[in-house]
Homo-oligomer: A and B are copies of this chain.
Amino acid sequence: MADLVVRRMTERNRERARREIAEVAVRLFEQKGFHSVSVDEIATASGVSRRTFFRYFGSKEDVLFHEHAAIVDELRHLLFEPRDGRRTGTDLDHIARVMTAMFGRPRGEHDRAVNRLMLYEPALRARSDELSADFERVIAEWLGGQGHSPTRATLLAGACMGALRAGRRLATAMGREHAARIIDEAIRVLAEPWPDTPDPQRPD
C-alpha cells in the first residue's frame, strides 16, 4: 500500500519532468528549427543527461508526439461511447460531432507550437500523418460495427480522414478563426462530394 503511494509520487514526478523537458525542447525547436537542435542541447538545457532524455522519450521526435496514444484513446472513447447515451443522426453526423469535439476545443500555446512545427518540418508532417492513420483505423473499426462491409468501412474511413486531414492543415495554415468553418466544409464535402457526378448506372 505504501508502495502504491510511492509509485504514484514517482509517476507524477516523472510526468512533471517530462513536461518540462518537452517545453524546453519545443522552445528550442521554434527558435532554431527541429534539425538544428541536438538532443545534447535539449538535455543540457533541461538539466538532465542525454541518456536520461532517452529514458523519458524514446526518440527526439517523441518529444512532440508522445501524447498521441492518449489522443487516439480519447477518439475511440468519444466514438464508441457517446456521452448522451444513444447517438442520433447518421454515421457521418456522429463522426462530425466527434471530430469537432476533438479538433475544435481550445488548446494551449505548447500544443499550437507543436502543430506549427508539424506543419512545416516535412519529417514531422510524416509523423503526424501516422496519427491520422490511427484515427482512420479507429473510424474504420467503428464503421464496421455500424453494418458497413469491411472494405467499405475502410474506404469510407479513408475518405473521411483524408478530408479532415486536409482541413486540419488548412486550418493550421489559415489561423484558428477559420477552423470551425473549414471543418464544417469538410463534412459537407463528405456528405455530397461530387454533385455533378452522373448516376453510374446511367452513364450519359
Compute how far the CA of A188 lies from the CA of B194 in the bound complex, rounded to whole angstroms.
11
Do residues B166 and A154 form an inter-chain contact, with CB atoms below 8 A? yes
Most buried by B among A129, A133, A163: A163
Compute how far the CA of A182 lies from the CA of B150 in the bound complex, rounded to whole angstroms.
12
Do residues A193 and B156 form an inter-chain contact, with CB atoms below 8 A? yes
Question: What is the CB-to-nearest-CB distance from A113 to chain B, in angstroms, rounded to a whole number?
Answer: 22
Among the 9-residue stretches A17-25, A67-75, A103-111, A195-203, the one with 4 or more Cβ atoms under 8 Å from chain B is A195-203
Question: What is the CB-to-nearest-CB distance from A27 to chain B, in angstroms, rounded to a whole number?
Answer: 26
Do residues A158 and B166 form an inter-chain contact, with CB atoms below 8 A? yes
- Interface residues of A: mostly helix, strand, loop or mixed? helix
Copies in the complex: 2
Q: A36 within 8 Å of B by Cβ?
A: no
Which residues of B have CB within 8 Å of A93?
197
Contact of A162 among B91, B163, B192, B203 (CB under 8 A): B163
Which residues of B have CB within 8 Å of A161?
162
Do residues A194 and B130 form an inter-chain contact, with CB atoms below 8 A? no
Compute how far the CA of A116 lies from the CA of B63 in the bound complex, rounded to whole angstroms.
30
Do residues B185 and A151 form an inter-chain contact, with CB atoms below 8 A? yes
Which residues of B have CB within 8 Å of A186?
155, 158
Q: A191 within 8 Å of B by Cβ?
A: yes
Q: Which 4 A-B pairs have the closest CB atoms?
A: A162-B162, A158-B166, A159-B163, A158-B162
What are 11 inter-chain pairs, A to B, with CB distance below 8 A? A89-B198, A89-B203, A126-B126, A126-B127, A152-B185, A152-B189, A157-B166, A158-B164, A158-B186, A191-B193, A191-B197
